[in-house]
Amino acid sequence: MSGEPHIEHRAAKPPAWRPDWDTYFLKLAMLASERATCPRMHCGCVLVKDNHVLSTGYNGSLPGTPHCYDAGCLVVDNHCVRTNHAEMNAICQAARHGMALAGATAYVTNLPCTACAKALIAVGIIRVVIFSDYHDSLAERFFQESGVKLDRLPMPRAEIHYDLASFSSARPFDEGKN
């Protein structure tokens, strides 16, 4: 036995499901969408710069106001207007914390609506990554006119891979209690 530092290879290569950066942030956007409060749509948004998460958001009611799931949707012209959209909430959260968004990428579960697309452009987002489309949106047109890159990527697999039992350094909470 020696205490000398040495290299140990447990696997010949990383697991096939290890996500690249784009997939990772899209997956985080999917996770954020789980907090959505409107049954009509679940949307998540993650704002990222230099692979650093600046802000996250999901479509939800304003602070202190009821959720659609509790109070019902507030519908105008077949749109629920009770919530702020995910992109808007991510921008608002960044504003609350004094975060500059110029040069950042927006990872969103779906194509932004026209209003959110304009807000993303105005705060300086330079790239938008999505895995699904959205009805009646002029986002693509505005992105094109403003030079914002739009990338449509495949929807990431929704499961999270975490095999606690297989990690030799991990200790489950209940171990040793008996």
Which of 21, 86, 32 is closest to 60 using CA atoms?
86
> Which listed residue (27, 42, 49, 85) binds Zn ion by CB under 5 A?
85
Comparison of 135 and 171: residue with beta carbon closer to Zn ion: 135
- Among this protein's residues, is 140 annotated catalytic? no
For the chain, the residue count is 178
52-58, strands of its sheet edge to edge: 52-58, 44-49, 105-108, 127-130, 149-152
Beta bridge partners of 1: none
111 scored as a contact of Zn ion (CB under 5 A): no
Among the listed residues 80, 92, 126, 150, the single contact to Zn ion using CB under 5 A: 80
* Residue of the chain from 26, 36, 38, 120 that contacts Zn ion (CB under 5 A): 38
User: CB 81 → Zn ion: shortest distance, Å?
Assistant: 8
Kindly indicate which of the ranges 22-30, 47-55, 63-71, 94-102 contains the residues binding Zn ion, using the contact rule CB under 5 A: 63-71
User: Is residue 153 within 8 Å of residue 22, measured between CB atoms?
Assistant: yes
Contact residues for 44 (Cβ-Cβ < 8 A; gap 6+)? 28, 29, 30, 31, 32, 33, 34, 35, 36, 56, 57, 58, 86, 108, 109
In the complex, the smallest distance separating the C-beta of residue 97 from Zn ion, rounded to whole angstroms, is 21
| Least distance from Zn ion to the Cβ atom of residue 159, Å | 27
Binding site for Zn ion (CB under 5 A): 38, 68, 73, 80, 82, 85, 113, 116
Catalytic residues: 87
